[in-house]
């Protein structure tokens, strides 16, 4: 069983460990966060918590049945009833349906808990696993564009509370 928890101050240490352990894995499909992200993690974590408190973003950690952080699912840029969803799942947890379940849960929360009406998402063309997660969760393809010179795809999902 997995759980989705809103980001809290006490997640910092485990979240940093998660990001470090999966840095190379994530960099294969999304732009790397860079060394400064890790060096300045405490300040970055505090900034995320401030954004969340202001209501402009909703950040979540994904825990497995053992309570380990195995992913993140975030809603950013909450404006006019919509937000962009982003997610990353640990390499050790990939391929087990965790991303699909976590995105499904954040979609439910977005509609019923956060009052959102639509979500958008982007993924690179060379990330079919992420594309599958989005389509399994009712997202529809929008258009193609570039992220850091990499071909990417946009998706959208209308939410019904």
Distance CA 42, CA 82 (A): 28
Q: Which residues contact 33 (CB under 8 A, 6 or more apart)?
A: 19, 23, 26
Strands (E), 8-161: 58-63, 69-79, 82-89, 118-124, 140-147, 150-158
pLDDT band of 75, cuts 50, 70, 90:
very high
The residue among 161, 98, 104 whose CA lies nearest residue 137 is 104
Q: How far apart are the first and last CA of the chain?
A: 24
- Architecture (CATH level 2) of domain 3-158: 3-Layer(aba) Sandwich (3.40)
Please write the tens of the pLDDT for every residue from 2-57.
Answer: 899 999 999 999 999 999 999 999 988 877 899 999 999 999 999 999 999 999 99
Domain boundaries, the chain: 3-158
The whole model's pTM is what?
0.93
Distance CA 39, CA 42 (A): 8
């Amino acid at each position: 069983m997995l759980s989705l928890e809103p980001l809290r101050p006490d997640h910092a240490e485990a979240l940093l460990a998660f990001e470090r352990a999966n840095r190379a894995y994530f960099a294969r499909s999304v732009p790397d966060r860079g060394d400064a992200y890790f060096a300045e993690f405490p300040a970055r974590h505090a900034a995320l918590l401030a954004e969340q408190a202001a209501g402009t973003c909703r950040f979540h950690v994904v825990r497995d049945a053992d309570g380990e952080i195995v992913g993140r699912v975030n809603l950013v840029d909450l404006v006019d009833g919509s937000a962009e969803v982003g997610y990353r799942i640990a390499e050790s947890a990939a391929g087990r349906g965790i991303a699909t379940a976590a995105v499904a849960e954040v979609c439910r929360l977005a509609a019923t808990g956060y009052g959102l009406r639509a979500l958008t998402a982007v993924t690179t063309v060379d990330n079919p696993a992420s594309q599958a997660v989005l389509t399994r969760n009712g997202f529809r393809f929008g258009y193609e564009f570039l992220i850091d010179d990499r071909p990417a795809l946009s998706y959208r999902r209308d939410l019904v509370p």
